[in-house]
Structure 1
Amino acid sequence: MWWWDARVTTLFKRNLQPTLTYWSVFFSFGLCIAFLGPTLLDLRCQTQSSLSQITWVFFSQQFCLLVGSCLGGVFKRTLAQSLLALFASSLAISVVFAIIPFCHNVVVLAVVMAMAGLAMGCIDTLSNLQLVKIYQKDSAVFLQALHFFVGFGALLSPLIADPFLSDTNCILTNGTVNSSSNLPHIRKSLVPHHPGNLSHYDLPTKGLVVTRVSYAFWIMALINLPVPFAVFLLLYKERLVPCCQRSSPPLLPADELAMETRAIDKDDSSTSSPKIQPEIGHGDLFGCCQSKNFRGVPCSYFAVHVTGALLLFMTDGIMGEYSGFVYSYAVEEPLSVGHKMAGYLPSLFWGFITMGRLISIPVSYRMKPATMVFINVVGVLVTFFLLLIFSSSVVFLFVGTASLGLFLSSTFPSVLAYTEDILQYRGCATTVLVTGAGLGEMVLQLLVGSIIHDQGSYSFLVCGTIFGALAFTFYVFLLFFHRMHPHPQSDMDLSPDKPPPPIGEPELYQS
């Protein structure tokens, strides 16, 4: 490709199968994360539950996603553990899709969605960890592609579900006609953990259930099935399937053998030089907090982890609360946008997030992660300021929504690549950042929902502006701690008269 040099192209070709596998697993993650919102009313009918009861299904999925993100690093210790965990998680998502139509009790459905959340959390942490491990300083472009696939899955899932959603109340009673006209508005206004703004709608819980949403889940289960198969193929290729192990590893092609020889020679020549600090491996969140991992590390080590997590707490929180409440904000005074037109706003937001992630793939190769994060956080803050200034303009609400999606799209992979680069891939950044992002998405939705309920819809933009300002502040702190953090001796010893490293020295994909 025109925007890749020979070294990155060689690195990508050598790790093509694992890279494509991790991208496909993240597609599975996106497929699972976006289906619940559009189908929630039909699932309410299936379980014959109230709106307040069915929104707890949202909570069970999001909470267990957070738990899975914290614990996902446990499986990183060997390649076999990582791939087996990814295989089990991606297969679990297909199983969850297949059995959801048989869950006729809201508690059972919540338990099933909790299982899906745990699987999604493991996928989120392990896919990011493995790509960072393979590509290290070149990981930014591959992380951007990884997060494009989650956006693609999240876009595809509602499109699959849409033809099977009920246009009228899916529990037939004598009062069906009166309540069915509100269903499109209710569906678009549903926000995880915050059904309070819909409490005045009285939807029936008893009667004849008529819904075809089961077909949507079975279609998504079939679409997802190739993903665990791809992970199994990678397990087989790496000789990690016990019953299919080969007696000897395959021979390397001549060019790869030459690169491997150069890498080994370099390692041999560097053994005599002392290491500046011990390598601290990635792990689960609790493993990262063990005191033995903190011996001899500077204070900036902790500060980089914390500020990076707080930055993503804000940006991912903005993403969650904006997509959740922009429809409700648009239909209220002073904008009073029609329900149908306002329904396009969340789709516009996620569409530009996906497009932004696609654009960021070539951009991230030419631009440093720190620069991309700066553009993102400044763009988010300026957009919220303009939305406040033109708060009475419907046109600018659509323009601002697209702009926010574009600026937020590449924030997570850019912050992850930047933070890992600061820590020289020795810290627990991936686990901590994934956990911080998931926590922000949960907490800020709850916070903004409560504030809007008490103070009115205008506070939606005020909250977004405050969160954007905090995100920029944490970015400045991250830059400051980057300058404080000691650089490894191998970087400081480089001098202009030394030749550059050979092209073929990328990290090998090893177990």
Structure 2
Amino acid sequence: MLIEERILTLFKRNCQHTLTYWSLFWSFGLSIAFLGPTILDLKCQTGSTLKEITWVFFSQQLCLLIGSSTGGIFQKTLFSALTALFLSALIISVVFAIIPLCYNVLLLAVAMAVSGMAMGIIDTIANIQLVSVYQKDSAIFLQALHFFIGLGALVSPLIADPFISGYCPSSNSTENATEIIQHFRYSLTASFRSPVILENSPHSGLVEGKASVSYAFWIMALINLPVPFAVLVLMYREKMLPFCPNSTPRLLDKDELAMETHTPESTEMPDLCAEVSGHGDLFSCCMNENLRGLPVTFFGIHILGGLVLLMTEGIMGVFAGFVYTYAVSAPMSLQVKMAAYLNCVFWAAVTAGRLVSIPLSYRFKPVHLLIINLAGVIITLLLLLILYTNNVFLFVGTALVGLFLSSVFPLMLAYTEDILDYQGCATPVLVTFAGMGEMSMQVLVGSLIQTDGSFSFLVCSMALGCLAFILLLALILCHHIYKKLTGTSKKAAMVDNPPAPAPPTPEKAVTEQKIAVTQSEPTT
């Protein structure tokens, strides 16, 4: 069989929970990808500059980081976890509905901050629970989980594309020439669609763009509504609604029940890191007293793994947010509608990469796939820098970057959790670092594009890719040192406290008694 019967049995036992987490990540992807193609329309709607609108990214990613860091406090019991997931999914739909009403950049930033908090809670709880349930088999299910992020992120630009208007003239007299050209291009296109409107106002295209892009957000709000409904169904099944009997099983009990189907390898004597009390939120992990006495490499694995994700998720956030802006600016100067397809290409590649990574994770070690992915990112970005005026390769390169980046996060999660024997706090730490990467890099690159031009988009991405590869090599080295230290500690513990001999079986006792009697008889 392509997949072992044991894994299929494990999935069937946790089917509804797993499918619910996957649908929540589809909602996550839907809300993380729409800012890229609509950023210029939102810039027009709020009357802000590109530098100011990047703070909307920052507010979303900052609260996503806060939600990721604190989301673990909800996952101790099934009731609190599912309640948090239900409210988070519902908040995402509400935010989609009110975005068209935010005509001020501050209001838009607040709305995006609220959605970011909800996304962070979804991110942490879903990742932690899948890792807790599937443990050494979690790589496959994490790839599927993050496939649904890509699927949602692919749908989002496709919905927004028919309603995108492009650049609008700014009230500032120092408006740059590229913005004027792009607005003029849009005006020419709009004149064929609505000449009567253009006769009434020289900026009627702007009004039309505002009205039309609102429909995209309202459509996304509607198609996201089945997700909180799916969580509600799961809560009904677990009898946690007010009209159900008061029975709230602990989620950890379900996890322990599911883990009974694991192979003996997953029940081996825990490593040194087994002293750390399970998964939780970031703050409880940092304040755990059992961290004392662990080798420095234990902390190095967390930090280096997190830094790799800080760089790679930063590249993903930068591409999702600014590849459209880069494409419509000089030297590319693509048409607005053509450039909008770049976001679709990027997220389609991310989705396809995560789908392909599901069987690959079953056949190959995560560390080998990580090396290939990061090497592919560096080579692709180098070619994009060399062929920076080639419009065709911009689409090809964007697809390749999305393909190689697609599985880095779930692979890194599976790799570090496997090193730490699924007993540490790797998941909340890695999720937090990933959120920091998306938050900081989008603001940094957005500011550089505003001051130094659009080419800084590729230069920053290349620098981040190289740093990520160097940090991955350092993580591999740290893993080998940690493995030697923990192996030595285990051997020393075995010498100091040798295991007690197992009691003899009845058959063995009878045999030994016969041998003793035979040896005690005098020989004639």
* TM-score normalised over the length of structure 2: 0.76
The residue type equivalent to 2:112 in the other structure is: M
Counterparts of 1:302 and 1:447 in 2: how far apart (Å)? 28
The equivalent of 1:465 in structure 2 is 462
Change (3 A) 1:129 1:332: same
The equivalent of 2:433 in structure 1 is 436
The residue type equivalent to 1:231 in the other structure is: V
The offset of 1:237, in angstroms, is 2.4
The equivalent of 1:420 in structure 2 is 417
Change (3 A) 1:219 1:171: farther
Asked whether the equivalents of residues 236 and 245 of structure 1 are also in contact (C-alpha less than 8 Å), the reply is: no
The equivalent of 1:221 in structure 2 is 221
The offset of 1:34, in angstroms, is 1.9
The equivalent of 2:501 in structure 1 is none
The equivalent of 1:230 in structure 2 is 230
Give the number of the structure whose residues are more often helix, by fraction. 2
Percent identical residues: 56
Q: Give the match's secondary structure for 1:353.
A: helix
Out of 110-119 and 446-455, give the one that drifted further.
446-455
The equivalent of 2:294 in structure 1 is 297
Counterparts of 1:347 and 1:382 in 2: how far apart (Å)? 22
The structure number with the bigger radius of gyration is: 2
Counterparts of 1:340 and 1:378 in 2: how far apart (Å)? 32
Deviation string, structure 1 residues 18-40 (Cα, Å, up to 9, x no partner): 00000000111111112234344
The equivalent of 2:61 in structure 1 is 62
Asked whether the equivalents of residues 170 and 209 of structure 1 are also in contact (C-alpha less than 8 Å), the reply is: no
Change (3 A) 1:211 1:184: farther
Out of 335-344 and 469-478, give the one that drifted further.
335-344
Counterparts of 1:23 and 1:46 in 2: how far apart (Å)? 33
User: Which of 396, 399, 405 is the matching residue for 1:399?
Assistant: 396
* TM-score normalised over the length of structure 1: 0.78
Mapping of 1:29-178 within 5 angstroms? 29-43=28-42, 53-166=52-165
Are residues 1:345 and 2:342 paired?
yes
User: Which of 337, 350, 355 is the matching residue for 2:352?
Assistant: 355
Counterparts of 1:247 and 1:444 in 2: how far apart (Å)? 45
The residue type equivalent to 1:368 in the other structure is: K
The equivalent of 1:241 in structure 2 is 241
Mapping of 1:299-318 within 5 angstroms? 299-318=296-315
Are residues 1:484 and 2:500 paired?
no
The residue type equivalent to 1:83 in the other structure is: L
Deviation string, structure 1 residues 145-193 (Cα, Å, up to 9, x no partner): 1111111111112222333444796999xxxxx988734989xxxxxxx
The offset of 1:231, in angstroms, is 1.1
Change (3 A) 1:149 1:185: farther
Asked whether the equivalents of residues 133 and 258 of structure 2 are also in contact (C-alpha less than 8 Å), the reply is: no
The offset of 1:94, in angstroms, is 1.6
Q: Give the match's secondary structure for 2:65.
A: helix
The offset of 1:371, in angstroms, is 1.4
The offset of 1:45, in angstroms, is 5.5
The residue type equivalent to 1:151 in the other structure is: G
The offset of 1:225, in angstroms, is 1.4
Q: Give the match's secondary structure for 2:211.
A: coil
Counterparts of 1:342 and 1:112 in 2: how far apart (Å)? 26
Change (3 A) 1:43 1:314: closer
The residue type equivalent to 1:214 in the other structure is: S
Deviation string, structure 1 residues 115-144 (Cα, Å, up to 9, x no partner): 111101111111111111111111111111
Question: How much is the aligned-residue C-alpha RMSD, in angstroms?
Answer: 3.9
Counterparts of 1:334 and 1:210 in 2: how far apart (Å)? 27
Out of 390-399 and 402-411, give the one that drifted further.
390-399
Counterparts of 1:404 and 1:127 in 2: how far apart (Å)? 25
Asked whether the equivalents of residues 171 and 208 of structure 1 are also in contact (C-alpha less than 8 Å), the reply is: no
Deviation string, structure 1 residues 461-487 (Cα, Å, up to 9, x no partner): 443332222111111111112112245
The offset of 1:400, in angstroms, is 2.5
Counterparts of 1:66 and 1:203 in 2: how far apart (Å)? 39
Give the paired residue count: 460
Asked whether the equivalents of residues 166 and 211 of structure 1 are also in contact (C-alpha less than 8 Å), the reply is: no
The offset of 1:70, in angstroms, is 1.5
Counterparts of 1:341 and 1:298 in 2: how far apart (Å)? 53
Counterparts of 2:390 and 2:208 in 1: how far apart (Å)? 44
Deviation string, structure 1 residues 192-221 (Cα, Å, up to 9, x no partner): xxxxxxxxxx999x9999614333333222
The offset of 1:53, in angstroms, is 5.0
Q: Give the match's secondary structure for 1:230.
A: helix
Counterparts of 2:119 and 2:451 in 1: how far apart (Å)? 33
Counterparts of 1:460 and 1:170 in 2: how far apart (Å)? 23
The residue type equivalent to 2:64 in the other structure is: L
Asked whether the equivalents of residues 74 and 283 of structure 1 are also in contact (C-alpha less than 8 Å), the reply is: yes
The residue type equivalent to 2:245 in the other structure is: Q
The residue type equivalent to 1:122 in the other structure is: I
Counterparts of 1:50 and 1:64 in 2: how far apart (Å)? 22
Counterparts of 1:391 and 1:136 in 2: how far apart (Å)? 43
The offset of 1:296, in angstroms, is 2.9
Change (3 A) 1:136 1:207: closer
The offset of 1:318, in angstroms, is 1.4
The residue type equivalent to 2:300 in the other structure is: A
Asked whether the equivalents of residues 92 and 115 of structure 2 are also in contact (C-alpha less than 8 Å), the reply is: yes
The offset of 1:278, in angstroms, is 1.8
Q: Give the match's secondary structure for 1:485.
A: helix
Out of 465-474 and 345-354, give the one that drifted further.
345-354
Change (3 A) 1:400 1:102: closer
The equivalent of 1:382 in structure 2 is 379
Change (3 A) 1:399 1:218: closer
Q: Give the match's secondary structure for 1:244.
A: coil
Asked whether the equivalents of residues 57 and 439 of structure 2 are also in contact (C-alpha less than 8 Å), the reply is: no
The offset of 1:403, in angstroms, is 1.7
Asked whether the equivalents of residues 316 and 438 of structure 2 are also in contact (C-alpha less than 8 Å), the reply is: yes
Out of 161-170 and 128-137, give the one that drifted further.
161-170
Counterparts of 1:217 and 1:390 in 2: how far apart (Å)? 35
The offset of 1:406, in angstroms, is 1.1
